């Protein structure tokens, strides 16, 4: 039996494939390299010493995906294929809703037709909108997303809830990621944003290596300990491992729809991150204070207790390791 991983050459997908292979699972990857590179597949093989099946296709293509299900014995699907750039989603709502929402619907339809009903979905802390309570638990209110990317995650969560209600032989885990950073310790896979990065850590590493001049810190008048935005940064390898726990939960528990936060439960500000990065790498990160970025919130960090109690999962890597591994990846390229 194999695990089908859509978007398996992407940032979180590739790290999860490594963990799947390390735990001796058979893997089938579907990726069309729309936001990733073929070299990633070789890197995964190098890291794990293991092989997998690969299809260069669009995950939303029903006919081609049906063939993948017919040619392989698929046990469960992990869906990482999706567009994820917040700013771009505002410019291209049709593309985002088509790829993320319609794409997932097509995938679920093909799964149903092939009687495969184990599904792990990559959701995001963004579904909580502007959180009313910190730390955020899974039963906090969702909604109030401020961009089509975030809304696409919210819509898919609702679709999954409706699907489960209609047929509770489905086995679904929704994982709400907080802010993944870092890279595999080998430095062979990591985050590869196209163009100028939007997210904090990819920007910081490019300032440190001189590709970009200085970091703009978006706002220093937030209601936080130093005025800059606070987030729950989680090492991508910890996040990847959370998917193994999610699969084990489905193997043990079976039918149900389960929702978990994947975060560390700790909040760090932008300036905390700059300081931690400088200390753990010895590199300087020049920065200036810039105006707030539209749609940003003050504070967002998780209460990860439910994942600990029900999945037996906790994030193990600290901020120092996250900074070191982010830096190691960009240096090795
Ligand atoms: N920031 C800067 N300068 C930059 C980039 C970011 O000061 O150049 C600040 C932001 O204002 C924010 C913090 O760094 O306070 C983190 O920003 P990111 O863009 O790295 O991450 P976000 O929290 O905005 O968003 C991320 C993902 C989303 C996801 C969300 C979930 O990009 O996909 O986390 O909470 F939805």
Q: Secondary structure of 77-100 in the HEC alphabet?
A: EEECCCCCCHHHHHHCHHHHHHHH
Q: For the chain, give the mean pLDDT.
A: 97
Q: Is 90 exceeded by the pLDDT of residue 193?
A: no
Non-local CB neighbours of 206 within 8 Å, separated by 6+ positions: 197, 212, 330
- pLDDT, average across residues 67-72: 98
Question: Is the confidence at residue 283, as pLDDT, over 80?
Answer: yes
Predicted model pTM: 0.97
Region 283-305: what's the mean pLDDT? 96
Measured on CA atoms in the order 301, 86, 40, 196, is the torsion positive or negative? negative
Q: Please give the share of the chain, as a percent, with pLDDT higher than 70.
A: 100
What share of the chain has pLDDT > 90, as a percent? 95
Whether the predicted pLDDT of 333 surpasses 80: no
Q: Assess whether pLDDT exceeds 90 at residue 126.
A: yes
User: How far away, in angstroms, is 169 Cα from ligand 1 center?
Assistant: 37
Atom of ligand 1 at shortest range from CA of 228: 15
Report the pLDDT value the prediction gives residue 202, as an integer from 0 to 100: 97
* pLDDT band of 174, cuts 50, 70, 90: very high
- For the CA of 197, the closest atom of ligand 1 is 8
Closest C-alpha residue for ligand 1 atom 19: 199
Work out the average pLDDT over 278-289: 98
- Residue 162 confidence class, pLDDT cut points 50, 70, 90: very high
| Rounded alpha-carbon distances, angstroms, from residue 177 to 23, 37, 72, 330 | 22, 23, 29, 23
Q: What is d(CA 325, CA 162) in angstroms, rounded to the nearest whole number?
A: 39
Instruction: Check residue 332 and give its pLDDT.
Output: 79
User: From the CA of 200, how far away is ligand 1's center (Å)?
Assistant: 6
Residue 1 pLDDT: 86
- More reliable by pLDDT, 48 or 331: 48
Q: Whose Cα sits closest to atom 36 in ligand 1?
A: 126
């Amino acid at each position: 039996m194999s695990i089908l991983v859509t978007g398996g050459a992407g940032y979180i997908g590739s790290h999860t494939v490594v963990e799947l292979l390390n735990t001796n699972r058979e893997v089938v990857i579907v990726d069309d390299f729309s936001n990733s590179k073929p070299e990633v597949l070789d890197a995964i093989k190098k890291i794990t010493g293991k092989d997998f099946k690969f299809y260069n296709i669009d995950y939303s293509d029903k006919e081609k995906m049906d063939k993948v299900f017919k040619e392989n014995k698929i046990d469960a699907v992990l869906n990482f294929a999706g567009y994820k750039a917040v700013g771009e989603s505002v410019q291209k709502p049709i593309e985002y809703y088509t790829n993320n929402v319609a794409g997932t619907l097509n995938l679920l339809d093909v799964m149903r037709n092939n009687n495969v009903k184990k599904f792990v979905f990559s959701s995001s802390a963004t579904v909580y909108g502007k959180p009313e309570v910190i730390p955020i638990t899974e039963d906090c209110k969702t909604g109030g997303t401020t961009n089509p990317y975030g809304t696409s995650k919210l819509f898919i969560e609702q679709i999954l809830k409706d699907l489960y209600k209609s047929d509770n032989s489905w086995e679904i885990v929704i994982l709400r990621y907080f802010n993944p950073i870092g890279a595999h310790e080998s430095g062979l896979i990591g985050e590869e944003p196209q163009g100028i990065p939007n997210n904090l850590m990819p920007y910081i590493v490019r300032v440190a290596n001189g590709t970009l001049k200085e970091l703009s810190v978006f706002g220093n008048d937030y209601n936080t300990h130093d005025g800059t935005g606070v987030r729950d940064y989680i090492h991508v390898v910890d996040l990847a491992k959370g998917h193994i726990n999610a699969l084990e939960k489905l193997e043990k528990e079976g039918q149900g729809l389960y929702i978990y936060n994947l975060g560390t439960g700790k909040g760090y500000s932008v300036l905390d991150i700059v300081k931690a990065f400088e200390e753990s790498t010895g590199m300087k990160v020049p920065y200036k204070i810039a105006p707030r970025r539209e749609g940003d919130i003050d504070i967002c960090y998780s209460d990860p207790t439910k994942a600990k109690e029900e999945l037996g999962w906790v994030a193990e890597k600290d901020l120092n390791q996250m900074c070191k591994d982010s830096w190691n990846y960009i240096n090795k390229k």
